[in-house]
Amino acid sequence: MSENLLISLNESQKNAAQHIDGPLLILAGAGSGKTKTITTRLAYLISIGIDPKSILTLTFTNKAASEMRDRAYFLLSNQEINTPPLLCTFHKFGLLFLKFYINELDRKNNFIIIDSDDKKRVLKNINKDIPSALLASEISRYKNSILSVEEVKAQAQGKLYQEIAQIYQDYEEHLLKNNLVDFDDLLLLPYKILKANRKLAEQVSSRYQYIMVDEYQDTNELQYRLLMLLCTSHNNLCVVGDDDQSIYGWRGATIKNILNFSENFKDVKVFKLEHNYRSTDTILHHANSLIEHNRDRLGKKLLGTKEKGNSIKIYESHDENEETRKIVDDIKKLIASGENPSNIAILFRVNALSRSLEEGFNKAGLNYKLVGGMKFYERAEIKDLIAYFRILTNLNDDFSIKRIINKPKRGIGATTIEKLEAKAYELNTSIFELMQDASVDELNALVGKKNSRTIKVFEASILDLKELLNESKMRFLDAFEDTFDYRASYDNLPDGQDRQANIDEFYGYIKDYFKQNPHLDLKDFLNEIALESQNDEYTTEAVSMMSIHASKGLEFKHLFIIGLEEGFFPIIGDGTDLEEERRLGYVALTRAMDNLTLSFVHSRFYKGKRTQLNKSRFLVESGLVKGSLIIEKSSGFKKGDMVNHKIFGQGRVEKAVNAGKDYKLTISFGGQKREILSSFVEKI
């Protein structure tokens, strides 16, 4: 029975699947049969008599867990299993654990899990001034860094972070009082319980004698420490992953977990899965050339099992409109030849680049779907801007007024908006006309003095911009941002950079529209994008558009990657980890099965204006175009890294720049920023 399970495996896969005792690292390259190997190993352990109840397999998504479970059960279809092995996500395991052991924390097991929206609502009730998204992100970071309320309060410097530290305490007290558990607690609380109770740790570890972890390169510090506790009584930990596909550092994943696995355990057995069953030899050759420029990697080389394949096409265009036309023409030819649109995809590093693609596809009548994302004109920040501009073309647009009267936040809450709406209805007028016509005393009586002043400033700003719009469309756009600081309102939010990139793209598109159509006005522009954004949702097959992050784990026969310019891919500066950017490039290239097209342009709209760009270094490093290699010293630090200074304590890196043989780091120590040379701090 056990031998039959291994028939379809290659030699490396077979050796990994048959490994039983001791720590095991399966270094699985892209398209190398990772899932097949780990599920076969699970089935193999059961087939040789190991109790399924003693096997724990942890994944990152329910989809991955379900796929592995189905595959393993299919392999064992001829074998009767009374109790199936536990195969679930990290967080599902944490939930199961807490149901049995949360009493160790003097809490009852009838706790309720709150989702991210509930979490934000709780935080908003505690503090209405600081954006709840920022608070949720910071508190999540504290928990995944295993920082207690006391530690956060002790380290907090600066008014903002001292306030957040107090909110963290209030939030934790609220959870405890109401017996609530948030998503991060599903890992943190089991860690705390096992850390404090060695006997229980040994008991749980003895129950799960064989532990397997999928996508190990995506684990964070908390997950690593929890795994160490689950291995208290043994070292039978099998981890599967690819250091070259570690692309989630921005959300807390640490590549050091997989890079240092052999140092954290004794006598680690390493098997490399290097045979790729997805891509042509040509694609693999250039993917290998690119990733070899990284220094922090364990080292492996993808080996092709398919034919050499077609050459990779490189598109060089003047701007994003020409780039889109070329790709649309190619895709139309593919579909006309009988290719299924679902076999075609377009990837980009920066989400804002989807705007020109969407416009081009709509004009060409091509079906598309944005995977893991939202269509450009459906994004909240863009809908807000459209609402502002609608008001400037129609002051009586109550729907738009209600949407943006408190964006960015001005202290105008829902109750105030309801009062304005009710009074306008009573007087048979619009909300804006009410603002204009009501006297100061009348507004004071209706909404209070503070809100009255705010409303009058808002009204005056809209009227000033409307007048400027009639004089100069170009000057109006600059004045709009100066007046409302809309872009700056996203400065401190977790997804602020992405949203600001979308705003910049939108501003740039408007400017270009007016340059190309000087005789048209803002209303014409709004009407045109309304038609574009009303594109029907297709139920038929469609071309996929997505970010490279969203493409991980997927594959396509025909792949286009756009935006290969310095600053867009790789994103550079501001503490960006260039090696992680390169790993993203490697992930992108290895999504392609048969045909791959890479595209770069000489200019794009960037931060609201057209900017001249240079082609991406990744095109040179992958051996696809000629050019000088850009050699940069690796700082070993990236934005978001936690560091420790012997005087200032723990801090977070916000920027890293060259300073001779050293690096100058901009570090936030609890909100207080300091510039420190890298040799004076150490990573946590």
By CB neighbour count within 10 A (0-12 exposed, 13-18 middle, 19+ buried), where does 626 fall?
exposed
Tokens found for residue 278: 């997805």
Cα–Cα dist 162/337, whole Å: 62
Q: Which residues contact 495 (CB under 8 A, 6 or more apart)?
A: 133
Report in angstroms the alpha-carbon separations of 200 from 146, 229, 647: 20, 10, 37
* Sheet strands (E) in 533-615: 543-547, 556-561, 592-601, 603-606, 609-612
Do 380 and 553 contact (CB within 8 A), yes or no? no
Cα–Cα dist 392/337, whole Å: 47
End-to-end CA distance of the chain: 47
Q: Is 672 a catalytic residue?
A: no
Length of the chain: 684
Kindly name the residue from 138, 184, 185, 215 that is annotated as catalytic. 215
Q: Is 243 a catalytic residue?
A: no
Kindly name the residue from 143, 355, 511, 591 that is annotated as catalytic. 591
Q: Which residues contact 197 (CB under 8 A, 6 or more apart)?
A: 104
According to DSSP, residue 348 is labeled E
Cα–Cα dist 331/62, whole Å: 33
Phi-psi region of 670 (alpha: psi -120 to 50; beta: other; left: phi over 0): left
Cα–Cα dist 227/213, whole Å: 9
Kindly name the residue from 18, 35, 166, 611 that is annotated as catalytic. 35
Q: Which residues contact 115 (CB under 8 A, 6 or more apart)?
A: 183
According to DSSP, residue 252 is labeled T
Kindly name the residue from 182, 184, 185, 214 that is annotated as catalytic. 214
Task: Say what the alpha-carbon torsion angle 362, 367, 370, 374 is, to the nearest 10 degrees.
Answer: 50
Kindly name the residue from 13, 34, 37, 358 that is annotated as catalytic. 34
Q: Is 579 a catalytic residue?
A: no
Which one, of 113, 332, 93, 261, lies nearest residue 191 by Cα?
93
By CB neighbour count within 10 A (0-12 exposed, 13-18 middle, 19+ buried), where does 22 fall?
middle
Characterize 71-98 residue by residue with b for buried, 16 or more Cβ atoms within 10 angstroms of its Cβ, and e for exposed.
Answer: bbbebbeeeeeeeebbbbbbbbbbbebb
Q: Is 552 a catalytic residue?
A: no
**Per the omega criterion (within 30 degrees of 0), is the bond before 408 cis?**
yes
Q: Is 59 a catalytic residue?
A: no
* Cβ neighbours, 10 Å, residue 68: 21
**What is the enclosing helix (H) or strand (E) of 368?**
strand 368-370
**What is the enclosing helix (H) or strand (E) of 465?**
helix 449-471
Kindly name the residue from 40, 217, 223, 245 that is annotated as catalytic. 245
Q: φ, ψ for residue 493 (rounded to 5)? A: -90, 150
Q: Which residues contact 150 (CB under 8 A, 6 or more apart)?
A: none
Task: Reduce the secondary structure of 258-271 to three states and give it as a string.
Answer: HHCHHHHCCCCEEE
Q: Is 244 a catalytic residue?
A: no
Cα–Cα dist 80/462, whole Å: 72
Q: What is the DSSP string of 78-130?
A: TS--SS--EEEEHHHHHHHHHHHHGGGGT--S--EE--HHHHHHHHHHH-SSS
Please list the active-site residues: 34-35, 214-215, 245, 591
